[in-house]
Amino acid sequence: MADYTPKPEHKFTFGLWTVGNPGRDPFGEPVRQRPQPHELVHLLGEVGAYGVNFHDNDLVPIDANPTERDQILKDFRQALDATGLVVPMATTNLFADPIFKDGAFTSNDVRVRAFALQKTMQAIDLGVSLGARTYVFWGGREGTEIDASKNPVDAIKRYREAINFLTAYVIDQGYDLKFALEPKPNEPRSDIYLPTVGSLLAFITTLDHPEMVGVNPEVAHEHMAGLNFLHAVAQAWEAGKLFHIDLNDQKFARYDQDFRFGAEMIKQAFYLVKFLEDVGYTGMRHFDAHAYRTEDLEGVKDFARGCMRTYLILKDKAARFNADTEIQQLLAEINADDGSFSFLNDGFSPQAAQRLREASFDRPGLGARGLAYERLDQLTVEILLGVR
């Protein structure tokens, strides 16, 4: 029986806002008390997490005075020391306060944009002081309900100026910090700019310091748009831009459900875990999800344990898939290459083009060839269902 106990090397992290989520939704009041940050650190230590992440105001409320702030930080640091938890990532809350109701970096109001920059500089300082090496940007309010209100080209330009300003700030401070931009198609805005992993990858190439900036894809966000999350993650990875990942689950095309990892789409979760493990992703496995609204604090622990346990079970299933001789045999057949086109391996040359011109193909034969994907998929399903 495999061991599904979370260990530090698994790099499982949670946000204060995830296990601290009080279960409020647009129709209902909180169902749980929100524990203090240091209490949440102890909760995460108890369930076996590696690290804890936070928005500036998850830790220090936006209106805290300096004395309150000092006490909160002291308690938080003590809890980190006591549990051995680390802070790998931090981020800014640029969405909760009414000042951000029409955006932060993309607001039409220059005062709001400046405040958002100031708030982020301070939050970066806070995150770095607690050890963060990755800084996430999720532009939840960077969007519109009515497109008459904002020029979308201006919005992208403003977003770029903000990220450029902040990468320069990080360099100027001498911080060892990378940025991970997190796309989401909608919610809380009707439409959010830079809605998918692909659009952010393109945006990053236009920045002053693209080498400092990658992406933080989230399962639920691509699934809200009905997209294939594995493909998005693979593209980010291939571009060297998978700096962080938000794991959770949800049904396609719904609101942002933020369910426990693996709660809904086991097959997608399996291919994702298999991908991360196969390519040797060494970053954080961050669970950006929360317990159902039906749960009390014990249920929150069940939720957190479940995220990690399901990840480890799927990791075990991926190892089984990789070791399954029938599956590997099928994959070898699908990818068989007799070397007759190796002259294409180095790309274009006039000689290669000439040889290709002269090549002949059994088009009907190739088109008629069965690929045995039915068998391959059934074998995969049987691994997932535990009979293989």
* Site for ligand GCO, rule CB under 6 A: 55, 91, 136, 138, 140, 182, 184, 218, 246, 256, 288
**Shorter beta-carbon distance to ligand GCO: residue 134 or 380:** 134
Partner whose footprint covers residue 136, from ligand GCO, Mn ion, none (CB < 5 to 8 Å by kind): ligand GCO
The CA dihedral of 160, 166, 167, 168, to the nearest 10 degrees, is 110
Asked if 102 interacts with Mn ion (CB under 5 A), we say no
Q: Is 102 a catalytic residue?
A: no
Partner whose footprint covers residue 223, from ligand GCO, Mn ion, none (CB < 5 to 8 Å by kind): none
> 38, 55, 221, 223: which is the annotated catalytic residue?
55
Find, among 279, 270, 276, the residue nearest to 381 by Cα: 270
Partner whose footprint covers residue 91, from ligand GCO, Mn ion, none (CB < 5 to 8 Å by kind): ligand GCO
Please state, in angstroms and rounded to a whole number, the distance separating the CA atoms of residues 304 and 298.
10
Q: With left for phi above 0 and alpha for psi between -120 and 50, is residue 189 left, alpha or beta?
A: beta
**Shorter beta-carbon distance to ligand GCO: residue 53 or 380:** 53
Partner whose footprint covers residue 159, from Mn ion, ligand GCO, none (CB < 5 to 8 Å by kind): none
Asked if 218 interacts with Mn ion (CB under 5 A), we say yes
**Shorter beta-carbon distance to ligand GCO: residue 170 or 384:** 170
Residue with the CB atom nearest ligand GCO in the bound state: 138
Partner whose footprint covers residue 307, from Mn ion, ligand GCO, none (CB < 5 to 8 Å by kind): none
Burial of 298 (0-12, 13-18, 19+ CB in 10 A): exposed
State the nearest-atom distance from the C-beta of 368 to ligand GCO, in Å.
Answer: 46
Sheet architecture: strand order including 246-247: 213-215, 178-182, 134-138, 89-91, 51-55, 12-15, 285-287, 246-247
State the nearest-atom distance from the C-beta of 240 to Mn ion, in Å.
Answer: 21
Please state, in angstroms and rounded to a whole number, the distance separating the CA atoms of residues 179 and 243.
8
Q: 223 to 262, contacts with Mn ion by CB under 5 A? A: 246, 256
CA angle (138 as vertex; 136, 140 as ends), nearest 5: 165
Q: Is 221 a catalytic residue?
A: no
- Please report where in the chains the tokens 């700030």 appear, as a residue: 169
**Shorter beta-carbon distance to ligand GCO: residue 245 or 318:** 245
Helix/strand/coil for 75: helix
- Choose the stretch contacting Mn ion; rule: CB under 5 A; options: 7-15, 56-64, 141-149, 212-220: 212-220
Find, among 282, 198, 207, the residue nearest to 244 by Cα: 282
State the nearest-atom distance from the C-beta of 273 to Mn ion, in Å.
Answer: 18
Half-sphere exposure of 23 (CA within 13 A, CB side): 15
Per-residue tokens: 179: 């940025």
> 58, 102, 249, 258: which is the annotated catalytic residue?
58
State the nearest-atom distance from the C-beta of 181 to ligand GCO, in Å.
Answer: 10
Partner whose footprint covers residue 80, from Mn ion, ligand GCO, none (CB < 5 to 8 Å by kind): none
Q: How do 191-192 and 246-247 pair as beta strands?
A: unpaired
State the nearest-atom distance from the C-beta of 183 to ligand GCO, in Å.
Answer: 10
Partner whose footprint covers residue 262, from Mn ion, ligand GCO, none (CB < 5 to 8 Å by kind): none
State the nearest-atom distance from the C-beta of 138 to Mn ion, in Å.
Answer: 6
**Shorter beta-carbon distance to Mn ion: residue 138 or 203:** 138
Q: 282 to 311, contacts with Mn ion by CB under 5 A? A: 288
**Shorter beta-carbon distance to ligand GCO: residue 311 or 321:** 311
Half-sphere exposure of 102 (CA within 13 A, CB side): 14
> Contact 311/10 with Cβ under 8 angstroms?
yes
Which segments within 276-352 are labelled E, that is strand? 285-287
Longest distance between any two alpha carbons in the chain, whole Å: 80
State the nearest-atom distance from the C-beta of 35 to Mn ion, in Å.
Answer: 21
Q: What are phi and psi of 65, to 5 degrees?
A: -90, 170
Q: 130 to 149, contacts with Mn ion by CB under 5 A? A: none
**Shorter beta-carbon distance to ligand GCO: residue 41 or 136:** 136
| Active-site residue set | 55, 58
Per CB under 5 A, residues contacting Mn ion are 218, 246, 256, 288
